[in-house]
Amino acid sequence: MTGSGEEMHELVRRMYPLCRSITGDGVRATLDIVGEYVPLQVHEVPTGTQVLDWTVPQEWNIRDAYVADRTGRRVVDFTASSLHVLGYSVPVSATLPLSELRGHLHTLPDHPSWVPYRTSYYKPEWGFCLAQEILDAMPDGEYEVCVDSTLADGHLTYAEHVVRGQIADEVIVSCHVCHPSLANDNLAGVAVATYLARALAEQNPYYTYRFLFAPGTIGAITWLARNAERIDRVKHGLVLACAGDRGELTYKQSRRGDAEIDRVMRHVLTASERPHTIREFTPYGYDERQFCSPGFDLGVGSLSRTPYAGYPEYHTSADNPDFVTPEAMADTLALCREAFAVLDGNRRYVNLSPYGEPQLGRRGLYDSLGGRSDAKQAQMAMLWVLSLSDGEHSLLDVAERSGLPFDTVAAAAGALHRAELIKA
């Protein structure tokens, strides 16, 4: 996984300079890069399209923005960082005194060298974000202000990648592609999702996995509106965000709290002995709140490391590629693969010899354990699977009740199935 960590980190660095928003060419450029790693189906939804209770907004694109002093020196320069402009700023060209300009400047006084990330999606506004120390050094006087942007009818862009499984039932993996130069939130999530898709494509997964690369909130709402007739195929889901910082893993449960994905994530995190936190669902955060809204009530949780707003660098220029690590992204990816292996392998069986304990020795099942260091554990797993194979209990139920590792339980079920002692 170390190699994948380095590759994911390089992908984050590639995407980092692009100016992303909820619409526009920055999103398309990001998806073009992701499309080099996995094939994407890109969707363009026109401005004005009704999507549930929302309407697809106008498309925003920006070419340049700056604040220049009387010598022409750019004090604030969009070309140096996409964070320097208020997201969705309307165009402006003016000369203003600093006293008037201050109302359009956003800083972080507690972190004077950092630039904040601010947006104004649904209210026409313009502004700039800059370090407090830069503002403090600006003398009174006139400043040239320019935002060379367009806000016009266009499209909202999102993309899907599908890994076909043995069945049509789907697992949704979602990440948002609307933030500008922020490495952890959410480019690390995009990178982990991309490499997770590549890993699953090399297997033969049981479920079909649908990866969504969409702008936050409005993107998920648009996808749900456009897929309402087939939403019953979605059996499980996971939102990936803040996937690359050094903090411990955090899983936020679905609205249901007892969805299968919730149980799987709790089991895998506990069994792995990784430091972790399990959080209850709240209707605030990332797009799990859209998938879990009561009309859909999907079993979708959210995986991150340090949760949103839980670290000082959140939504600031300090959330840069140096803030995320290859090791953390590799660990997040590994956890996802472990969890989906459990999800894919979680079956219910029926004991075909339920009256008394079947004789395992004459079927060669005990002999098959010879030489295994965990032979006693594997034998107990067979007995537990036989005991709970009543069509009601899943292999995850068996693992939780017995305290045995899921992969040991799944291997026992495979042996019993081959011996025709249980059936799915």
Residues annotated as binding site? 179, 185, 315
Angle, vertex CA 274, rays to CA 271 and CA 275, nearest 5: 125
CA pair distance 185, 180, nearest whole angstrom:
9
CA 212 to chain centre: 9
335 closest CA partner among 253, 251, 409: 251
CB-facing half-sphere around the CA of 404: CA atoms within 13 A:
26
- Cis preceding linkage at 61, omega within 30: no
Q: Residue 392 is encoded by which pair of tokens?
A: 């009601």
Binding residues for Zn(2+): 179, 185, 315
Contacts of 353 (CB under 8 A, 6+ apart): 386, 421
d(CA 255, CA 282): 7
Question: Which residue, chain included where needed, has tokens 């933030």?
Answer: 179
Instruction: List C-alpha distances in Å: 355 to 351, 352, 398.
Output: 9, 9, 19
Question: How many CA atoms does the CB half-sphere of 159 hold within 13 Å?
Answer: 21
The answer to whether the CB of 338 falls within 8 A of the CB of 268 is: yes
**Do the beta carbons of residue 157 and residue 213 sit within 8 Å?**
no
